[in-house]
Amino acid sequence: MSETSPAAAGGWPEPVVRVQALSESGATTIPARYVRPETERPLISSESSTDAGDDDEITNNIPVVDMSSAAAATAVAEACREWGFFQAVNHGVSPELLRRARGVWREFFHQPMEVKQMYANAPATYEGYGSRLGVHKGALLDWGDYYFLHVRPPHLLSPDKWPHLPPHLREATMRYSEEVRRLCERLMTAMAVGLGVGLGEGRLQEAFGGAEGAGVCLRVNYYPRCPQPELTLGLSSHSDPGGLTVLLVDDRVKGLQVRRGGAWVTVDPIPDAFIVNVGDQIQVVTNAAYRSVEHRVVVNAAEERLSMALFYNPKSDLPVAPLPELVSPPERPPLYTAMTFDDYRLYIRRNGPRGKTQVDHLAAKPPSADDDAHHPCRQ
């Protein structure tokens, strides 16, 4: 570990800088570490919701699925096939709980820095208050802080990593996670049924190690105001490494962009809806019938933004591979070799967000030829 993570920086390769502190310093320019190369910079325009409009296929928003409808499974499957992203409405989680969950976390980030620093995270598990993803010294950084927690299975929940303040944070976060976890179970069923190849409704869940074994993690993202939003990103392009993600976005401020062909589509959130997306593990299990999609976050000068991403993941020590029912060589060979999620997520934890390079890489060659063998930071 010593090469990339001196103990002096809590396991990080260099001292951690809180983006919130940079934002509150009042500086009118951002440090060079946050300036993306020109090709990765967002096009900040106030009106249009796509920033590269030369593709005829582009529509302006991701599909909307009514989870209370009898046709929900079909609609979920179609959205997963066509977009890898959709907004779920009538999902059964009360708007009041959504507001409470967002509220307690907004309060958390608005506490004095000393309070937050007590929960400073380290790259070994990422749990706690963090400001970077990836451990490479000198890497470009994103304009965002976050809080990351393991919620399930119960033996992975570490109470000492959960903030004690504000007072209702723990209870609100548990209730929120529990309800969204149940929604994830319904989504897994809909995704299985909607595949339309006669899979039993519990088949995807089974491939994740059953409802009891599945992992739930929460990442609360806090994107402070940024004096030069046109030069940076709140979160660089990535696909989510896990199974599926249920995202609760800010009720006032846009920022999420989804890659569609060559363009970035800015999601226009429906109040109290969830944004659901396919992660890499669902792509692997379905042998790419459903595909994860790159997304990123843009920030702005006028307002901070808070989002809550709940990641629903396979049991972490279970080898995950394409379901045999979805493989029939020679027309449909297995596109991925088996890998546990524990091993899979080391890539993003070491390298930071890098588009879809990991899952594409898993398809191209066996995982044993580890492409970052020269970064020996085993977590």
Footprint of ligand OGA (CB under 6 A): 219, 221, 235, 240, 247, 249, 255-256, 295, 297, 307, 309
If one asks whether residue 142 binds Ni ion (CB under 5 A), the answer comes out as: no
Compute the least distance from the CB of residue 274 to Ni ion, in Å. Answer: 13
Describe the chain by its helix, strand, coil percentages, rounded to 5.
Answer: 30, 20, 50
- Compute the least distance from the CB of residue 158 to ligand OGA, in Å: 20
**What is the closest distance, in whole angstroms, from the C-beta atom of residue 312 to ligand OGA in the complex?**
13
Strand partners, 247: 275, 309
Look at residue 220 and give its three-state secondary structure: strand
Q: What angle, rounded to 10 degrees, do the helices at 72-82 and 169-194 form?
A: 90
Q: Which of ligand OGA, Ni ion, none has residue 116 at its interface (CB below 5 to 8 Å by kind)?
A: none
Q: In this complex, which beta carbon is closest to Ni ion, that of residue 208 or of residue 311?
A: 311
* Under 8 Å between Cβ of 241 and 229: no
Q: CB of 156: closest distance to ligand OGA in angstroms? A: 19
Which DSSP state fits 83? Answer: T
DSSP state of 346: H
To ligand OGA, the closest distance from the beta carbon of 25 in angstroms equals 23
Q: Which does 256 bind (CB under 5 to 8 A by kind): ligand OGA, Ni ion, none?
A: ligand OGA
Contact of residue 249 among Ni ion, ligand OGA, none (CB under 5-8 Å per partner type): ligand OGA
Q: Which is nearer to Ni ion, 240 or 280 (CB)?
A: 240
Residue nearest to Ni ion (CB): 240
The CB-of-234 to ligand OGA minimum distance in angstroms stands at 7
Structure tokens at 181: 């976890």
231: Cα within 13 Å, side-chain hemisphere: 14
Minimum gap (Å) between residue 274 Cβ and ligand OGA: 12
130 neighbors 146 (Cβ within 8 angstroms): yes
Other Cβ atoms within 10 Å of 146 Cβ, number: 24
Q: How many chain residues touch Ni ion (CB under 5 A)? A: 1
Question: What is the rounded CA–CA span in Å between residue 216 and residue 273?
Answer: 20
Cβ proximity to ligand OGA, 93 vs 348, nearer residue: 348
> Is the separation of the CB atoms in 245 and 88 below 8 Å?
no
> Which is closer to ligand OGA, CB of 1 or CB of 181?
181
Tell me which of 240, 250, 280, 294 binds Ni ion, using CB under 5 A: 240
Task: Give me the least distance between CB of 249 and ligand OGA, in Å please.
Answer: 5
For ligand OGA, the closer CB: 208 or 274: 274
Which residue, 73 or 148, is less far from ligand OGA as judged by CB? 148
Nearer CB in complex with Ni ion: 193/222: 222
CA distance 100 to 106: 10
* Cα 93–chain centre separation: 20
Instruction: Give residues 293-352 in contact with Ni ion (rule: CB under 5 A).
Output: none
Binding window for Ni ion (CB under 5 A); candidates: 32-40, 240-248, 279-287, 351-359: 240-248
Name which of 73 and 276 has its Cβ closer to ligand OGA.
276
Nearer to ligand OGA, 11 or 255 (CB): 255
Task: State in angstroms the smallest separation of the CB of 343 from ligand OGA.
Answer: 19
Cα 192 to Cα 203: distance, rounded to the nearest angstrom: 6
Instruction: Specify the stretch interacting with Ni ion by CB under 5 A; choose among 23-31, 150-158, 236-244, 357-365.
Output: 236-244
Measure the CA–CA gap between 162 and 165, rounded to whole angstroms.
Answer: 9
Eight-class DSSP state of 129:
E
φ, ψ for residue 131 (rounded to 5)? -140, 5
Residue among 159, 161, 148 at smallest CA distance from 219: 148
The candidate with the shortest Cα–Cα distance to 140, out of 345, 356, 374, 352, is 352
